[in-house]
Structure 1
């Protein structure tokens, strides 16, 4: 089998057996799956209670080590509750007569699907010319790489999750999240609530859809790493000076007071307000932004199999997942609202043009979120890691090298940007900062040339950022601070726009006015970063209790004054 190294890295986390370079199910598992595939008249599996007994028997047939692993204590009760009590009789009969046999057949094909995957892997990107590995493997922390899976193979993987067939004891050591569905169903029984029932309805609907018509596309899962050490071939972790002196123009900022990120119509990276363990509480009791996205796009769950938790300098980009469900509500009010037909176009690889970027914010940061440690070494570089496209690295570096900015150092001017007060920027044009290179001071014309080139770079790639109150809500972050951090990161990453969904947060009432005012004054990334640092310092030391937007443009400054002040 090709890609043996990739297979060996993931094999301990799969329920299959490898012998003589071939993958297969143990004979007793094949026998059990064949019985299920023939329908309830043959298998006698026609209730949730009996289904879980079948699941238990299959796990026992896999291996002694797997049979010794205990599932969540209430899992059996959860399966019985959902399929025997909460499902209507008609829906239950259809599930056991049509869907369970189809899932059993899909599992029977799982070994051959995986072998075909490895045979075709590594030739998917640029015809294999770049030597990029795409095979299913464990993408460990600090290991940048990409895995490309067919939607059919993902369906088989999620069928394994539904039947709780993945080994679990060795996952914790690798910081891998839960992947079997036992806790999902156990949580339904332990503390019944409608949100949990409706999360399961989304998953069940997904299985019904793929069993009636298997989608033909592919999905890619990429671990992105921002190197902590300087690397001449890649854009690395950005230091405070880089942000402070950046003359990159701020990208277009669009504020939406209604609507949802997943419904945005543009080509954009859609931000998943993630837990460091991808998926967060999706397969437990969680039901906020990330968990909901994983329910309506269940193919995202496949990444939980092979993506360990993210470090501070890492993000995960997932392209191509299909949405299967509509929903209403949020948190405890979440409800499955029927079928969703995904009409997103596909790219040259067969991936839907749904790009989801998984970035985790600091949880419960309190007052420390205003310190430079959180601002710089964590939040803004985390967002930049997610938003920056490392495939554009050489173009990005060349943009700086051609104009001599790589070794640029600021020269003390009458109004050094680090000493500009809030009022200097509030009622004047953004400062012209002189830069020194090995050959002297860069003049305004050179700076203008740089900005023109960066604008041309933006025009070549219209994929922006669609986001909202990342790291706020349950995570406790300051929504004004997080909005500005994401704007800075998107701009520095040369993204053409950021679409920001406020979800009705009162603190962001003036976000559109203030962002428009900033853009009209032609501030750079450095200008806005320096203001954010100054504000955060005052907030940290008790110098102000105002939110950033009101601090920057005081409430006493009317919209008319703002209009007059514009150049």
Structure 2
């Protein structure tokens, strides 16, 4: 239990971590994190030592009655007379303990005082309160109201503003054949309470500018996600500027419970299917998953105008999906800077859908700081639990998915997902600048770059598509060229999915064949893109699209493509 408390506090309370981080630079080891983060959080905490008022409101009591100054020598002295004993002279008695001792308040820990012993007078710790609340939910028959009451009990600051409308709607509308809510909540509460047993080491934060990996079991992930469902992570309920976790995604499910919409209902169907799977002994997953933050320092950034690589192979598919037809490849997550994007809110585009299909990805939000321009997050071994259909407003949970993907020597599924965030353009014209093209090239390269210790023959292709081309308003032709260039420098082939856009697939295939046929290098193509940016800035209302411009610069008319 004591090991658990240090680990729990490390990723739950995390007080003072930001102050310590600059001193510790990139040291992500558990001992550093433990030393920096081990501050208790208590329910009903008060200010020990800050008040001399007793619990009954009376004045403080002295441990011993104080003697009068006139009684110090045992006899009366005249005013002004001096008491004399040996070589000491003085008037009256100097106060000293224990005679002048004030009765102390009860000993317990708070944010200003760490107590390293177990005290019978200690205020109930946050975890003890959580245990008490979740044990009540383990009894069969728990309702949504019981879940709401339990969560609000140990999150009192949000008792008035958290809504559970989506959860009530779910129970009302989903048939009992699919949803045995009370039984599942009981199993989930039991899983959440295994935290002391399953998590006995502090979980390091994957901070910006530090490459670091975390490998954990699927059972550990399920336990952490059960705790996220029950909103047990303190200090993770806000991301306002200047807050302790302002640079991290949210992890508690409270934001999802408040969104009453058809999309939320479908998300909950998928998530409850996941929890039903991981709480059954026969279907409980037994493998591992690795989360790796990769940061490339400026000294290793490519000089794009000097790169001599030719385009690698490209397979364009108008049908199919990255997660299915791209099986076994490095699969691109069209990510938000805050990994998972709106998965615990209203979001339902490519990234959020992938996180709903594979809920183990959601746990990355617990420890992954916002991605910088030269960083990505790679997840190896995540399991797919649900089949879904549709996109955005048309999204729906379809059916359970049985993931038969083989596992590697570490018992991880052969599934690699890389989260890379594209720039969002309020004005689409902004993307046609050298600065923004270089940024997108770097981000794609960070995601695609292979492990330098692994030969090219053992490096899978990249499965991608229209990265950043939906709500972020990226140009699909430009983004395709950028990803081809990054893949060439990373020495990886590409599988490109256009999601039912047959014309785009044909145009992209012809452009790639043209570049390959002319042995176009990355450096030459980069220079052509810079020329196109100048052309676009002067003629953006009548500018050619980037494919037509490049083909004409290569001596090929658009009609010949």
Cα deviation code 1:62-92 (max 9, x no counterpart): xxxx432x26835222222222x12224444
Q: Is the CA contact 1:72–1:183 (under 8 Å) kept in the aligned structure 2? A: no
Q: Distance in 1 between matches of 2:166 and 2:560?
A: 61
For residues 470 and 15 of structure 1, the distance between their equivalents in structure 2, rounded to whole angstroms, comes to 44
Change (3 A) 1:300 1:165: same
Matched, 1:370 2:437: no
Aligned pair in 2 of structure 1 residues 312, 527: CA closer, same or farther (>3 Å)?
same
CA deviation map 1:142-195 (0-9, x unaligned)? 11111111111110111111111111257643311111111112012xxx3x22
* CA separation of 1:350 and 1:19: change in aligned 2, threshold 3 A: farther
**Pairwise CA distance, 1:15:** 9.8
Contact 2:327 2:415 in 1 (8 A): no
Shift of 1:464: 1.3
Which residue is 1:206 aligned to? 274
- RMSD, matched Cα: 2.9
- Is the 8 Å Cα contact of residues 10 and 306 (structure 1) preserved in structure 2? no
| Mapping of residues 267-416 of structure 1, within 5 Å | 267-364=328-425, 366-376=428-438, 378-389=439-450, 391-392=451-452
Question: 1:533, 1:475 → 2: CA distance?
Answer: 21
| Partner in structure 1 of residue 26 of structure 2 | none
* One of 151, 154, 168 as aligned partner of 1:55: 151
What's 1:501 paired with? 497
Q: Which residue among 212, 217, 229 is the counterpart of 1:145?
A: 212
Length-normalised TM-score, structure 1 = 0.73
Greater Cα shift, 466-475 or 209-218: 209-218
Q: In the TM superposition, what are the counterparts of 1:389-538 in structure 2 within 5 Å?
A: 389=450, 391-392=451-452, 457-458=455-456, 460-495=457-492, 497-505=493-501, 506-507=503-504, 509-538=506-535
1:136 aligns with 2:203: yes
In 1, the alpha carbon distance for the partners of 2:368 and 2:41 equals 14
Given that residues 548 and 558 in structure 2 are in contact (C-alpha distance below 8 angstroms), is that contact kept between their aligned partners in structure 1? no
Matches of 1:533 and 1:358, distance apart in 2: 27
Cα distance, 1:209 vs structure 2: 0.8
Partner Cα separation in structure 2 for residue 322 and residue 515 of structure 1: 33
Q: CA deviation at 1:507?
A: 4.8
Note closer, same or farther for the CA distance 1:509–1:546 as it changes in structure 2 (3 Å cut). farther
2:132 to 19, 22, 31: 31
The question of 1:173 aligning with 2:244 is answered yes
Q: Secondary structure at the match of 1:550?
A: helix
- 2:270 touches 2:357 (CA, 8 Å); kept in 1? yes
Q: 1:35 Cα shift?
A: 3.1
Following TM superposition, by how much is the alpha carbon of 1:106 offset from its aligned partner in structure 2, in angstroms?
A: 1.2
Asked if the contact 1:25–1:111 (Cα under 8 Å) also holds between the matched residues in 2, the reply is no
Q: Give 1:490 deviation, angstroms.
A: 1.1
Q: d(CA) in 2 for partners of 1:138 and 1:203?
A: 25
Give the number of the structure with larger relative contact order, counting CA–CA contacts within 8 Å between residues 6 or more apart: 1
Query: Are residues 21 and 286 of structure 1, via their aligned partners in 2, closer, same or farther at CA, if it must alter by over 3 Å?
Result: farther
CA distance in structure 2 between the partners assigned to 1:561 and 1:246 by the alignment = 28
Rate the CA distance shift 1:293–1:7 in 2: closer, same or farther, 3 A: farther
Q: Which runs of 5+ in 2 are unaligned?
A: 8-29, 44-108, 119-124
Identify which of 166, 169, 182 aligns with 1:96.
182
Check whether the contact 1:480–1:508 (CA below 8 A) recurs between aligned residues.
no
The residue aligned with 2:197 is 112
Deviations 1:255-276 (A, max 9, x none): 1111111112453211111111
Q: Deviations over 1:535-555 (max 9, x none)?
A: 222112327612122223369
Conserved 8 A contact 1:15-1:165: no
> What is the distance in 1 between the residues matched to 2:462 and 2:38?
36
| Structure with greater Cα Rg | 2
- CA 1:225–1:166 in structure 2 vs 1: closer, same or farther (change >3 Å)? same
Secondary structure of the structure 2 residue equivalent to 1:146: strand
> Cα distance 1:352–1:263, how it changes in 2: closer, same or farther (>3 A)?
same
Of the candidates 279, 286, 290, which is equivalent to residue 220 of structure 1? 290
Q: Does the aligned pair in 2 maintain the 1:253–1:500 contact within 8 Å? A: yes
Local SS of the residue matching 1:310: coil
CA distance in 1, matches of 2:436, 2:217: 38
Q: Contact conserved, 1:71 with 1:182, CA < 8 A, in 2?
A: no
Farther off after superposition, 315-324 or 171-180: 171-180
In structure 1, what is the Cα distance between the partners aligned to 2:543 and 2:271? 45
Aligned partners of 2:444, 2:287: CA distance in 1, in Å?
29
Task: Please list the CA deviations of residues 43-66 of structure 1 after superposition, one character each: whole Å capped at 9, or x if unmatched.
Answer: xx1x22232122223x2xxxxxx4
Distance (Å, rounded) in 1 between the aligned partners of 2:40 and 2:513: 50
Q: Distance in 2 between matches of 1:547 and 1:15?
A: 60
CA 1:32 to 1:537, structure 2 compared with 1: closer, same or farther past 3 Å?
Answer: same
| Cα distance in 2, alignment partners of residues 561 and 297 from structure 1 | 44
More helix by share: 1
Partner residue, 1:552: 550
Q: 1: CA distance between counterparts of 2:42 and 2:345? A: 22
Q: Secondary structure at the match of 2:146?
A: helix
Contact 2:41 2:126 in 1 (8 A): no
- Unpaired runs of 5+ residues, structure 1, are 60-65, 119-134, 231-235, 396-456, 563-567
Q: TM-score, normalised by structure 2?
A: 0.74
Aligned to 1:400: none
